[in-house]
Amino acid sequence: MASAFRPCVLVPTFDNPATIRRVVEKARAYVDDVIVVDDGSGEEGRRAVELLARESLAHAVFRPKNGGKGAAVKTGFAAARALGCSHAAQIDADDQHALEDVPRFLDAARLAPNALVLGAPVFDESAPRSRLVGRQITRFLVNVETLSRTIADPMCGFRVYPLAMASSIVVRGNAMDFDPEIAVRMVWAGVRVINLPTRVRYVSRAEGGVSHFRMGRDNLLIAWMHTRMIVLSLLRLVLRSARWLFRK
């Protein structure tokens, strides 16, 4: 018998005191369980998450020190499975995602429970040009790594994971390199990908928007991740070719 579909929303956060409440409140309109993983926030950010937990709006998990977005998501996977959830809809804590699309993403996951549902962002004029160029480069490299165009956008933080499969994938990246790496590794594992368009806006500082993308360090981490993944992709291709030759 197929296991029950029980989704949650997973929100990794680091110092998002101005936006985390409205993100959680929006998410609660669509799911019973919202998991907020505080990745070593300062006092104000931590208090905001503690208050959500006290009001029973979210299951809060507190990491003692900042480990990066990927580390927080990995912690969230463990918390979601401990709750008995089958799927986790990952969203960012800065309110840049169109949460009214959560039902559409969950419907896609319900119909294809073993698939990875990825957001394909539709940006407005708030998107910085430098970030858009960086995404284009990452898309190209991911196409090389998967030898396909299976993944429309590997960087979008709005996605739904089938938890059993996602938790079994070993991902080295713990920062902003996590999102593209796990997507590629799930494709390598044979997971079907469903790409759904969704609006994304960059939230201004006046609205509480805070970007934790560090141009120097995170771009280096992503570049190193792509270097590793391309080498591994070539090795996979060589091994696959060798197996084919030996079968002849």
pLDDT tens digits, the chain, 248 residues: what are they?
346 999 999 999 999 999 999 999 999 999 999 999 999 999 999 999 999 999 999 999 999 999 999 999 999 999 999 999 999 999 999 999 999 999 999 999 999 999 999 999 998 877 777 778 888 999 999 999 999 999 999 999 999 999 999 999 999 999 999 999 999 999 999 999 999 999 999 876 666 666 666 667 888 999 999 999 999 999 988 887 777 666 76
Residue 3: predicted pLDDT: 67
Residue 1: predicted pLDDT: 35
If one counts every other C-beta atom within 10 angstroms of the C-beta of residue 23, the result is 25
How many residues belong to the chain? 248
Residue 2: predicted pLDDT: 46
**What is the CA angle 6-9-14, rounded to 5?**
150
Residue 206: predicted pLDDT: 67
Residue 244: predicted pLDDT: 66
69, 93, 96, 91: which is closest to 202 by C-alpha? 96
Alpha-carbon distance values, 61 to 16, 31, 58, 87, 195 (Å): 15, 18, 9, 18, 29
Q: Are strands 59-63 and 34-39 parallel, antiparallel or unpaired?
A: parallel
**What is the CA angle 185-156-166, rounded to 5?**
35
Dihedral angle over CA of 69, 70, 74, 75, nearest 10:
-30
Residue 124: predicted pLDDT: 85
Q: What is the DSSP string of the chain?
A: -PPP--EEEEEEESS-TTTHHHHHHHHTTT-S-EEEEEES--HHHHHHHHHHHHTTS-EEEEESS---HHHHHHHHHHHHHHTT-SEEEE--TTS-B-GGGHHHHHHHHHHSTTSEEEEEEEE-TTS-HHHHHHHHHHHHHHHHHHTSS--S-SS-S-EEEEHHHHHHS-----STTHHHHHHHHHHHTT--EEEEEEEE-PPPGGGT------HHHHHHHHHHHHHHHHHHHHHHHHHHHHHHHHH-
Q: Which residue shows structure tokens 């284009």? A: 136
Residue 203: predicted pLDDT: 75
CB 158 within 8 A of CB 73: no
